[in-house]
Structure 1
């Protein structure tokens, strides 16, 4: 990574002038001083990171810098922070390295388009920063491997933004599966949208105040499109995620949530599938459902339309989505809740938990707040719930499924070596052609 020729001085008096935001005592170990707080920078100030910014501040961190390649978004985020702290200390930058290389910053929050995730994450890790990075953690398989290595080498904390693991309905669903309550799992249906596709958007006049070259970064330099980078401040999730140059469609965007839960339920966070299969009647760029991941015990994960994540076992079914939960055991409905129904999600989960998990031997990592879990890990130096291995391997699952859609081939995979097996696949499917200095 090229070094900046000149670093800026970020916060000469920020720590003294800013109103102190103290982390709740429940987060910190007893040895921590009562006025300690995590100093953070935020990179990529669109809809997602503005929400994360407010949530992090609510947990007591000190935000001192923001970065975005769009002037309006950058200054808007800076203004938000200054208003929160009632001062003018927040720095605003175009180049992310101004944040990742600043020694006054403890941690960064990254919510750029996916094609930037690994480059910025590795820069932050090498410079001693802990990282909260939005999902999917990476844009390709090679990047997952390199991010995992970088976390281990630099002894840092990384949390992936796959926050469903911090919700009780997903944890209890996976505990039911892991404890064998519904027997051997035959298949898991995951309901997400379409795979990625090539970007062929029309060129538009560039948005004033946008560094388009830097927005493209490691991806090919193409003409500006407001579909990729909306003009100015916006309150929607831009469609760059649909295009394979920048994301991986909904397979990575939502697969990083639902395939991640399949991984958790199957107990394969430290491994993964051994095969990825395209739909039976595959058509290039037309096939949008039906791809499968196959695990070593024969269990399949199938891309379908349906109910979030549906674990299908020999003795029953567990279905889970945000605010939705259903549990059927040996043909009998044990618990069910959907938002439109009477009752509560909590009571449905409690019924399942008390009846079938009271003596369960497997208790999964319990996090009630994804950001708080990350901040706690910064203090304890213990891995958070969606650490680099979880986020990296869940992303690999998504990328394998996408490659089966892109190429129409059965891919044999070695999850220990993170490489193709049995002479299948193509080395270029693991990575991308990186542009300029932005290499991983």
Structure 2
């Protein structure tokens, strides 16, 4: 499929166009006339296919289009997974035939997300793409007048968060960050209990990120031929031009700094977000951050994100947050003057049984799981019946914490026991120009100009 020449050409050919962006109705939703929300999925890999299945299972909206640079292949998280735009299109249409018969709608399949955004029937998009695509997709979707559900972490860099917020504010669209713990009744119970003083004054928080769950090639690796069904040039997009290797893309993108922040952003976008939530500091950040320990693969390995990490932060209220790599199933542990509470994949515990009275089931009273509930909350917010559980500003603050942690980690051990001072309002380090250089990075043309 031929790519549009530029973003400006894209906007000129989009039904809403650049001139209409500032006067979009709130909410912009075709179903106001009695129809249903029509959505497009940008990204049909491991996470994208899982979310598509949930939308179909709970009949949350009509999926009328999918998009991916991969026509269809194996090579995702598990060997048996066959994902991509054609498998996604088939799954949506087969589901419609089984459950709606002749009333089932066609699901279009696009190779370029800008073509999907130019489709006037689409009200909202789910951006389930590698982290280096979150900002370009979100910004152009907002400018096209589409409501946006963007997976976590919100951004690849600190600077991108401000870009997204400016575009969303101008367009007036609904935006949900895919931090589904915000729609998990158990996480809501724990974080709100802590915020409301159940354990007294919070003094310390421990958060956990997982170890790398995939192994890539070491130094001396050689390039692979690009599969014919895979548009590698488009997959790279704003990232540096580098040789193709199958371990660079699809699920494994998260282990290379060109596309992600490793497990610090992958898991930290959940556990650290909950830390901010429980402190009542959803849109703030620490005053200082220090890396205690970090380990990396040998220089020249394809995977270059840290494999083991430990860092600490200090907040204006005196709370110390320590985040570490661990196999523990505890995501977030709150310690206070009158007790402690912790929650994670292994369950929820506390210093006293009284603290857990009223603890709900994670699937909620209607039996809907947190992922699905989070998407349902987005749909209802677009309809005007709710407000998003994970607002843009909240997702930005959580992503910023992960990004500045990576800045400290990548400077370790060369800079030893360096304590980086952070101005959360200005979003700058006050004592390190070198660390500030990591808060933004250039994007390759034509993705360098999204204004």
Query: Shared topology, TM-score over 0.5?
Result: yes
* Cα distance in structure 1, aligned partners of 2:398 and 2:11: 37
CA contact (8 A) 2:42 2:125 kept: yes
* Cα distance in structure 2, aligned partners of 1:85 and 1:154: 32
CA contact (8 A) 2:377 2:387 kept: no
* Cα distance in structure 1, aligned partners of 2:232 and 2:380: 37
Q: In structure 2, what is the equivalent of residue 355 of structure 1? A: none
CA contact (8 A) 1:412 1:424 kept: no
Say whether residues 1:3 and 2:9 are aligned partners: yes
Q: In structure 1, what is the equivalent of residue 179 of structure 2? A: 162
**Equivalent residue runs for 1:326-337 within 5 Å:** 326-328=349-351, 332-334=352-354
CA contact (8 A) 2:147 2:175 kept: yes
1:263-290 Cα shifts (integer Å, max 9, x gaps):
11111112111222111x5667678232
Correspondence for 1:241 among 244, 254, 274: 254
Q: In structure 1, what is the equivalent of residue 424 of structure 2? A: 415
Q: In structure 2, what is the equivalent of residue 60 of structure 1? A: 60
Aligned residue for 2:359, secondary structure, equals: helix
TM-score (norm 2): 0.78
Aligned residue for 1:203, secondary structure, equals: coil
Aligned residue for 1:83, secondary structure, equals: helix
Aligned residue for 1:268, secondary structure, equals: coil
**Equivalent residue runs for 1:247-266 within 5 Å:** 247-266=260-279
1:182-209 Cα shifts (integer Å, max 9, x gaps):
1221211111125999996642121121
Q: In structure 1, what is the equivalent of residue 437 of structure 2? A: 428
1:68-105 Cα shifts (integer Å, max 9, x gaps):
11112111111112222335722111111011232221
Q: In structure 1, what is the equivalent of residue 71 of structure 2? A: 71
CA contact (8 A) 1:195 1:248 kept: no
C-alpha deviation, 1:7, in angstroms: 5.8
Gaps of at least 5 residues in structure 1 are: 10-27, 231-237, 337-346, 352-365
Correspondence for 1:149 among 153, 158, 166: 166
TM-score (norm 1): 0.80
Aligned residue for 1:183, secondary structure, equals: coil
CA contact (8 A) 1:174 1:261 kept: yes
* Cα distance in structure 2, aligned partners of 1:97 and 1:368: 26
* Cα distance in structure 2, aligned partners of 1:327 and 1:88: 49
C-alpha deviation, 1:428, in angstroms: 2.3
Gaps of at least 5 residues in structure 2 are: 1-6, 16-26, 73-83, 98-103, 298-305, 362-369, 413-417
C-alpha deviation, 1:437, in angstroms: 1.0
Q: In structure 2, what is the equivalent of residue 131 of structure 1? A: 148
Give the paired residue count.
384
Aligned residue for 1:289, secondary structure, equals: strand
Aligned residue for 2:310, secondary structure, equals: coil
Q: In structure 2, what is the equivalent of residue 233 of structure 1? A: none
Aligned residue for 2:309, secondary structure, equals: coil
* Cα distance in structure 2, aligned partners of 1:210 and 1:146: 29
How large is the Cα RMSD of the aligned pairs? 3.0
